[in-house]
Chain A
Amino acid sequence: MTAFLQQLLNGLSLGSIYALVALGYTMVYGVLRLINFAHGDVYMLGAFAGYYASKLLHGRLNGGLPEAAVILVVSMIACALVGMLIERLAYRPVRRASRLTLLIVAIGVSLLIENLAQIFFGADPKFFPQILPERMFEWRGVLFTNQQILVLATAVLLMAALTLFIRRTRTGKAMRAVAHNPDAARLMGINVNSIISLTFALGSALAAAGGILVSLNQPSIDPLMGLMTGIKAFVAAVLGGIGSIPGAVLGGLILGLAETFVAGYGSSTYRDAIAFFILIIILLCKPEGLLGKGQVEKV
């Protein structure tokens, strides 16, 4: 029983990582209908931004929460800028082109970031500084750390905040309008370009937050860390219903649990395949994802 609960917690902890990254994926997709392959790489850049920020800050703040907060904010701002830059330079020129073109550009951006990162940061893994001291807890033999809780709580909190933002604020309303029909939104006086820019900034900042929180938990970062995480997070987003914010979190958690239970109770060698296997099953039964809204394609 203890082992089962421990695996459950492991699964939630892994799933919350996917959920954090999936949030940004789903936002960008919801507004732009673009699989932003570079999202996983922005997540990686977030972790590296945090790494270099903490090197620069080292000794200037007394560690602990303030330092962690500063590092988090710096990295989120840096990645928001990167995200806006990517959108402005690569995606905007092809926004009206076919989806295939958009997808290929996204693949190109992802490859570009990964390879530049290998050149600038080096291919070897780096140790991510423990900017938040780790504490262990035990409950009925189940062991967990404050950082695992932090990642899970952040994912859920961000989900709530994002949902509120999109449902209740004027900007959120504008985002929904752009997602629904960009041309009509423009006619209504919405600045479509700045709304899309903002979406990217927000999505990338989320990715950066994810990168830092995850790296606290798994303190080894390298230029290719976003590759698999990004793809699995995307799978999570599709699983939950792409474009749906609660769906991204749900999908992430399900994926994390599935991988953990397959590795823990089945065969760990098939762990990497299970994510895709579930995805295929879900898509075949319910193509819009668990929480997605069915779409009727209009002529």
Chain B
Amino acid sequence: MKKILLVLAVLGGMGLLQWALTAFLLDGPVRQGPYYYQILMLAGINVILAVSLNLTNGITGQFSIGHAGFFAIGAYVAASVSVYAGPTLQGSLAGLPSFAADSVLLLVASAAGVAAAAAAGWLVGMPSLRLRGDYLAIVTLGFGEIIRVLILNIDAVGGARGFTGIPRYSNFFWVGLGVVAAISTVRHIVRSSHGRALLSIREDEIAAQAMGVAVTRHKVTAFVIGAAFAGLAGSLFGHFTMYLHTNSFTFVKSFEIIIMIALGGLGSLAGAALGAVVLTVLPELFRGFAEYRMVIYALALILIMIYRPQGLLGKGRFLGRGKDK
């Protein structure tokens, strides 16, 4: 009962927030409204990405640099569903008011995107998570690149010309729900026995195995969940920007997500969310120094890793030990 109330409260809250945002930012008195709304949306999507990557990288200690690949799969699959199956679905939803029909379509498309990303996560994770840390890093990086090259070769999603004509179904209501879902799922996992298994894998895989933890199974589960949320972020992204191009999904994007969680604190949930928000908002403040933005990023990243390797909000219990030496 309590849970149902909580869900209702979240739904209501997000609905209210969306109404307020529309009233004030999009149609309202705030001059720069649409610009803030845009940043808010991107921040929300980045939070989902960072929190989900944190499950793999921060909590399980498996270093993946292919998150942009799952992000891309979610975005393209969901967008294809909307573009190619949308008109048929729309026909069968003709009786509903437009916002309800849009919501149903977004949910269907997102479900497809999430499922595809999760399946891809399983395909990649199943064999490669047996590998040691660095190898996993390079395999996931390679996977992301393979996805990018494949998309460039598929004409139905535009190839190099990009995917146009995607309807704008997502808004802050959905992105906000996505954020809440991602955070609460990951938090729930961390607090469960599954989460303790993941933490034990991060701390010492061999010891975990010796204690009877099914290492590979736990790792793959975490990886698949992370991929699924990246897929969700992707479908919300595509249905917001209304246009997709592979330039948004290079390994530089994967690096950016890593920077977000490193800044906030590897393994820290709030840290990942904060890192994502800061790294979406800060560059906007530094627009005047466009050329130096990435230089500042890179420097900040190095300095944080040297002086505060646990990140802004990390507790530093787990990192900073020379266990690999």
- The answer to A–B direct touch (Cβ < 8 A) is yes
Determine the chain B residues whose CB is within 8 A of the CB of A280 once the complex forms: 127-128, 139, 142-143
Determine the chain B residues whose CB is within 8 A of the CB of A115 once the complex forms: 292, 294-295, 298
| B305 is an interface residue with CB less than 8 A from chain A | yes
Question: Which one of A43-51, A104-112, A207-215 contacts B?
Answer: A104-112
Contact at A94–B309, with CB atoms within 8 Å?
Answer: yes
Q: How far is the CA of A114 from the CA of B259 in the complex (A)?
A: 16
Contact at A108–B128, with CB atoms within 8 Å?
Answer: no
Contact at A97–B138, with CB atoms within 8 Å?
Answer: no
Query: What is the minimal beta-carbon distance from B222 to any residue of chain A, in angstroms?
Result: 15
| A58 is an interface residue with CB less than 8 A from chain B | no
| A144 is an interface residue with CB less than 8 A from chain B | no
When each residue 125-154 of chain B gets 1 if its CB lies under 8 Å from chain A and 0 otherwise, what string results? 001101111110111011101100110110
Q: Which of B127, B149, B291, B297 contacts A272 (CB 8 A)?
A: B149
Determine the chain B residues whose CB is within 8 A of the CB of A182 once the complex forms: 325
Q: How far is the CA of A97 from the CA of B304 in the complex (A)?
A: 13
When each residue 260-283 of chain A gets 1 if its CB lies under 8 Å from chain B and 0 otherwise, what string results? 000000000110110111011001
Contact at B146–A108, with CB atoms within 8 Å?
Answer: no
Determine the chain A residues whose CB is within 8 A of the CB of B299 once the complex forms: 108, 112
Q: Which of A96, A101, A270, A287 contacts B305 (CB 8 A)?
A: A101
Secondary structure dominating the interface of A: helix
| A3 is an interface residue with CB less than 8 A from chain B | no
Determine the chain B residues whose CB is within 8 A of the CB of A277 once the complex forms: 142, 146
Contact at A183–B305, with CB atoms within 8 Å?
Answer: no
Contact at B262–A273, with CB atoms within 8 Å?
Answer: no
Q: How far is the CA of A116 from the CA of B298 in the complex (A)?
A: 10
When each residue 7-30 of chain A gets 1 if its CB lies under 8 Å from chain B and 0 otherwise, what string results? 000000000000000000000010
| A33 is an interface residue with CB less than 8 A from chain B | yes
When each residue 312-325 of chain B gets 1 if its CB lies under 8 Å from chain A and 0 otherwise, what string results? 00000001111111
Question: Which one of A71-79, A148-156, A231-239, A245-253 contacts B?
Answer: A231-239
* Chain B interfacial positions (CB closer than 8 Å to A): 57, 61, 63, 127-128, 130-135, 137-139, 141-143, 145-146, 149-150, 152-153, 204-207, 251, 255, 258-259, 262, 266, 291-292, 294-295, 297-299, 301-302, 305-306, 309, 319-325
9 contacts between A and B (CB under 8 A): A101-B320, A104-B301, A108-B298, A109-B298, A273-B150, A276-B146, A284-B127, A287-B130, A287-B132
Q: Given contacts A273-B146, A287-B131, could you give 13 more A-B pairs where the C-beta distance is less than 8 Å? A: A97-B305, A98-B309, A100-B133, A101-B309, A104-B305, A107-B301, A111-B294, A112-B302, A118-B291, A238-B138, A270-B153, A284-B127, A297-B132
